[in-house]
Amino acid sequence: VGHIQLPQSWGEEQGVDWTHLWNQAGLECHPAATNRRVEQLLWLKLAANCVINPLTALHQCTNGDLPTVVPNFAKLQEEILSELAAVSQRQLQESNSGCQQLTLNQQNDTVADSEADPLTTSSMLDFCTRVISDTKNNKSSMLQDILNGRKTEINYLNGYIVQKGLEFGLPTPANEGLWQRIRDHELEIERHVAPKS
């Protein structure tokens, strides 16, 4: 949130320094330490989306209202992220089997220390808390989809975690519950929109 991270080697083959060009354009951009770091950042982004999108859609609130509007928000958020951390760690093990643990070059990595840790429930909680605070007045894309009677991206967020959990033999009841509730909303919208014969 707030800046762009690219793999250090991005654009080398074409002789383009994308980080420099994006900074010249006024966008804060930093090289990520490794491709694995980029993968970790993608998991953090997915974590924030798996919490914020379905909960704002179900409770029809802005991002910043989540902690006060959603009953037992802290507990539910931790359950969602605990499942996501287990799935992400297993996925990273699968995709990087045999690779050494990521070592970050602290001079090149300007992201907060909590994000530099391996993907844990705690680092995901820190990231989500920051995103909710930084985007407190936003209406999530999923909330807007629900309000406008459109299909959501739930299958690619919590649905993806459920799918990977099944693949790895990891339970994901919190994510599955949110996935099912949003799917129920979508089916209800489809019933109201479907032409009557």
Query: Could you list the pLDDT tens digit for every one of the 197 residues in the chain?
Result: 455 555 555 555 555 566 666 567 776 666 655 677 778 889 999 999 999 999 999 999 999 999 999 999 999 999 999 999 999 999 988 876 644 443 333 333 334 433 445 689 999 999 999 999 999 999 999 999 999 999 999 999 999 999 999 999 999 999 999 999 999 999 998 888 766 65
pLDDT digits (tens, 9 = 90+) for 159-188: 999 999 999 999 999 999 999 999 999 999
What confidence score (pLDDT) does residue 157 get? 98
Instruction: Kindly give, in sequence order, each residue whose CB lies less than 8 Å from that of residue 11, ignoring residues fewer than 6 positions away.
Output: 17, 18
Enumerate residues 6+ apart whose C-beta is below 8 A from 13.
none
CA dihedral 67, 68, 69, 71 (to 10 degrees): 80
CB atoms under 10 Å from CB of 29, counted, come to 17
Q: For the chain, where are the E strands, in sequence order?
A: 4-7, 29-32
Residue 45 annotated in active site: yes
Taking residue 159's Cβ as centre, other Cβ atoms within 10 Å add up to: 20
User: Any idea how long the chain is?
Assistant: 197
pLDDT attached to residue 169:
98
| pTM summary value | 0.76
Catalytic residue among 45, 75, 136, 151: 45
> Other C-beta atoms within 10 Å of 49: how many?
19
Paired tokens of 40: 């970790």
Please, which residues bridge with residue 29 across strands? 4
Interatomic CA distance for residues 118 and 82, integer angstroms: 13
